[in-house]
Structure 1
Amino acid sequence: MPVWLKDPMSFPGQEPGDVEIGVCVTDIQQRVGLGQSTTSQYLAMLRQAGLVVAARRGKWTYYRRDEANIARLMETLRDVF
């Protein structure tokens, strides 16, 4: 799922201004084909791991990758392996 978020414009209905805040959880749910609850649980785990950032806009939640944390994770993995 985080790989999909690397290109927010690949989601239907995304506007160029949306890239800054991320992708709506509803659009993510439609792409993964899972229920809303399951999708939200997976996104919550990714957020807790520091791989994605959540932003609220009204009643909608948007997710985007946390590129800085992902880069740190990749660097750590390279150091370990």
Structure 2
Amino acid sequence: MEPLLIYKALSNETRHQILHWLKNPAKHFEVQCHIPEDVDFKIGVCVGDIQAKAGMAQSVISGYLLTMQKAGLLESERVGQWTYYRRNEKIIRQFTEYVQNEL
């Protein structure tokens, strides 16, 4: 875990909002149409759905997601031609412990 990369990723309001949405994807997104229903949000949320909710260009959202993934906050999974993102809860827990203990 690299705390400075996480701070940088969280310094952008939209990236922060994406992380919030992915905390409870069933509340913020429609059922993912390119994956089996029984899998639902376990593999994450499609980039296109995140882009539509954010109301920004897909290239911008893809860049934001990559920044968050490099910081360790997100994991991705490719299914066919679609990429799905989900929170990396292990790293998020480590970061919150770091903030609690070190700051």
TM-score bracket, shorter-length normalisation: over 0.9
Partners of 1:48 and 1:2 in 2: CA distance: 14
TM-score norm. by structure 2 comes to: 0.74
Unmatched 5+ stretches in structure 2 = 1-17
TM-score normalised to the size of structure 1?
A: 0.93
1:49 match: 71
Q: Return the letter of the residue paired with 2:46.
A: C
For 1:33 and 1:59, locate their aligned partners in 2 and report how far apart those are by CA, in whole Å.
21
**Structure 1 unaligned spans of 5+:** none
Cα pair 2:31 2:41 within 8 Å, conserved: no
| Runs of 4+ off more than 3 Å | none
- Name the structure 2 match of 1:12: 30
CA contact (8 A) 2:43 2:77 kept: yes
* Identical positions, percent: 44
Alpha-carbon RMSD: 1.1
**Structure 1 residue 42: deviation in Å?**
0.1
**Displacement of 1:16:** 5.2
Q: 1:25 aligns with which of 30, 47, 53?
A: 47
Which letter maps to 2:47? V
